[in-house]
Every structure is written in structure tokens, then in C-alpha cells.
Amino acid sequence: MSSGLLLGVNPQGQIIHLNLRMANRHGLVAGATGTGKTVTLQMLAEGFSRAGVPVFAADIKGDLCGIAEAGRPHPKIQDRIERIGISDYQARPFPVVMWDIYQRSGHPVRTTVAEMGPQLFSHLLELNETQEGVLYVAFSAARDDKLPLLDLKDLRSLLNWVAENAKELSTRYGSVSASSIGAIQRRLLVLQEAGGDHFFGEPALDIADLMRTEADGRGVINLLDGRQLMLNPRIYATFLFWLLTELFERLPEVGDPEKPRLVFFFDEAHLLFDNASKALLDRIEQVVRLIRSKGVGVYFVTQNPVDVPESVLGQLGNKIQHALRAFTAKEQKAVRLAAESFRANPNVPAERLITQLGVGECLVSILDEKAIPLPVERVLMAPPESRIGPADPETLASVRASSPMGLRYDRTLDRESAHELLEARRTQVKSDPVPLPSPGQRQVPVSRRQGFLETFFKAVLRGLGSQAGRRLIQALVRALSGGKR
């Protein structure tokens, strides 16, 4: 255990460890449904926690939360312990904080509209290039006019204001079309119906609260309840990438530490890349490439390695491959590509073995001390020390009640922002009184004054030297001075 994070044992009885110094070089956990990916994720999260590394992961099916309870005796688990030769196995729970965008099973996790930014918001709303340009204009106008964008009602009010002032804003920022604004407003309604309004507001999540350790030195495992969230995969993927971007932008450079500062598991990773624009894919690649220098390890969890773009896959140094199915030509090609992504081992025919691995068995390739991938090994994975499967509801209720995060996040704040400021402007315009004339001054109707001015300027165009022009000037002066002179 001292040489790294225990993964398991190969057929020759050699114990395989993940080097903690290389854990921020990212990783991949792949395999077909039912092959043990979730249990592997659970075992990895435990290992990082024991090493004092905080973890963030999404609980897609609701069975990862068993990590909050001690494991229960089972013949298969005991057999695995004996086959691997684990001498210090201890069934125990791990420190967990539950999060839930919909505020049902965990603390609410929020960000503001401004923090998400127009690029990710455009991806979230599935906008085309023209509509995305209009959204950029709206965000720029809000920044320049000091209009805080916190929640969806702020963005809706901002878009109404942009539509009302489209002509003026077009001269400052570029063309603003009413049809594009209408399309964005309709997409906002769809987002709200999907529950997206729960995601935006204050208090916004402070990433420091994801990087905590317990008094005993174990890293806190942050679990995001993804059961309801997965019904809206675009919200899920956009939220997780926003969180990854926040970590990248806010954390200082630390180079290659002895162990990661945080490990981030991105389950159902293919959702991040589905229908993403080239600009967004470039940004994802940049964040993954550079965030390791912030001490953050990113582990993509997906059914097939081909779900991850090659430019990103090439940056994942630690790979754990569960079994794949190969019933069609496309699946057979995916198996071949997965096998070719490993460093070859003459004793391990990867392409043949991928379809023959049992539950809990993997092909593993990890980085050595010099960040060089080791040859692929067939590995029997170690069992988790916590409960496999969902935790009892009473346990989860106790975990939430005892969490210090409740005092910070369970109450929603609604301070003055763009919606209130723009409403105040409209109210002010409607309530501004017409100036009353001073005592003794004859009031001249506004319409009459405007008529004098229009006639005056027409006369100017004809020539101020004309006698008619002089008479109009004299009449205008008398009207504006209340009839005197």
C-alpha cells in the first residue's frame, strides 16, 4: 500500500499499484454495462481518500453512495481478498458529502449565469452560431452596464432589455436581431422546464469546499446525485465541465505534487463530447491538458474508449479497461482500437482478452515514475472496503444532517441583480413627472413647442435671411419664454 494506490493483482501474483505522483496525469475507466466500472470507481475513490486526496464524482445510478457505509461480509469479497493477498483489509465507511442540483438528496450546488459565461451557456441552450453571437452581445452589455447576472430571471430580463435597445446596442457591439433573441428566450423556457433554474443562483459553489480532508487525514468524497440529472444530459455535461473549468481557472500552479490535490471522475463522459462545437472541444482539450499542473487528476468513465476524442484520449496516462462486447463490425473495430491504445505486452493478447474478461477483471496500463506507460497487464481488481450498492436512506439522511455544508448552501440568496435593476429603470421612466411651469408663467403645450421647432428648422433650411424665418424665430422665442417678448 505504501508504494501507491492498490489496484489488484496480475495472474503471476504481482501486486499492481497506481503511482500517486502520476495520478494527476489523468485516466480512463472503460467497459460495457455490468462489467464492474462503478465498483472500480468506488475502489479508486476509496484509495484516493485513504491517501488524503479529496474526490468529486457523480453517482449516476444511485449505487455509488454505498461508500458512506461499511462493507458487508460476502464470500466473493472474502475470496477476492485472499486471492490478492490483502492483509490490511478493513470494512469501513468513508467521509462523504452529498450534493444535488435539484436539492432533494444533497446540498444544492449552484453557479451564476455570469460565471458560466456565454460559450457554455450557448452549448447548454443548443444555440446556433448567430444566436450565440447575440448571447455574447447580451453578456458584454451586462458587464459594461454593471448588471449582475445571477439566475435565469436576470438573463430573461437582460434579453428583453437588449431587444428594447437593439438599435443602440447594435452600434456598440454588432447586429442584434429580434428573431435570435426570441429563439434564445424559447430555449430558456425549455431549460427552465427541465429544472435548469435550480442550477443558477446564489450562494454559488466555492471549489474550496470540494477540497477538504477529515481530521484523520482522509480526503472527503463529494458525490453528486446524478439520477434526476441524467434525464437532462446536456445540463449534466455542461455543469461538470463548468466545474472542471472553475478548477482550472482558480487553482494556482503546483507542477507535479506527490499526490493530487483533487481527483475528478467524469462518469458518462461521452455526454461531454456529444454535439459539442469545435470551439468547445478545443476548450475541453486545453483544460484537460493544462489542469494537471494545478494538481487535479481527471478520470473519464465511459463504456467505450472511442467515446472520448483522440486528442483527449492521448492525454490519459492511466487506463483501466473492463470487458467490451463485440457482436457487430463496429464493436469489433472499437475493441481493436481499445487494444491498440495500450503499450503492448507479449504475454497479454489485449485484443483477444478484452472480450473475455470476467466481472472485476481489467486490462490495466499505468505510468511509471518517469511518466512512461507500463506494458498492459491483466488485473483482478481489489474489492472496496465500503458497501457495494446503495446506502440505506437513514445513512444518507444522517450524512446530510451532519455535514457542515448545509449552513453554507441550503438557504437560497436573492440579492439585487440585473432583473431588479432593469425593473427599477423601467419604473423610473414611467413615473418621471412632467415639469410644471413656474408661477406666473404661461404653459405652452409640448406638442405646440415641438411644432414651432420643426417649423423653425425647416425655415433654417430655406435660409435664415428670409423675413418668414425671422418671424418664426421671434414667435419661438415668445413661446419658450412663456409669452414675454
pLDDT digits (tens, 9 = 90+) for 326-359: 888 888 998 999 999 899 999 999 999 999 999 8
Handedness of CA 372, 376, 380, 386 (dihedral sign): positive
pLDDT for the residue 1:
37
Alpha helices in 100-204 (DSSP H): 113-125, 129-144, 152-164, 166-173, 178-193
**Full-model pTM:** 0.85
Q: Using 50, 70 and 90 to split pLDDT, how confident is the model at 392?
A: very high
Average pLDDT over residues 358-370: 94
CA–CA separation, 105 vs 314, rounded Å?
Answer: 36
Average pLDDT over residues 167-180: 91
Average pLDDT over residues 444-454: 53
Average pLDDT over residues 107-125: 94
The DSSP secondary structure of 27-65, one letter per residue, reads EEEE--TTSSHHHHHHHHHHHHHHTT--EEEEESSS-GG
Are the C-beta atoms of residues 342 and 364 closer than 8 Å to each other?
A: no
Per cent of the chain over pLDDT 70 is 88
Are the C-beta atoms of residues 151 and 113 closer than 8 Å to each other?
A: yes
Are the C-beta atoms of residues 134 and 181 closer than 8 Å to each other?
A: yes
pLDDT for the residue 485:
46
Q: Using 50, 70 and 90 to split pLDDT, how confident is the model at 481?
A: low
Residue 430 has pLDDT above 80, yes or no: no
Rg (the chain; Cα; Å)? 31
Average pLDDT over residues 394-406: 94
Average pLDDT over residues 471-477: 64
pLDDT for the residue 330:
86
Residue 35 has pLDDT above 60, yes or no: yes
Question: 1.10.3720.10, 3.40.50.300, 3.30.200.20, 3.40.109.10: which CATH number matches 5-110+204-391?
Answer: 3.40.50.300
**Average pLDDT of the chain?**
89
- List the chain domain ranges: 5-110+204-391, 113-199+415-426, 440-480
- Cell numbers standing for residue 93: 465507511
Residue 260 has pLDDT above 60, yes or no: yes
- Cell numbers standing for residue 392: 440505506
Q: Using 50, 70 and 90 to split pLDDT, how confident is the model at 479?
A: low
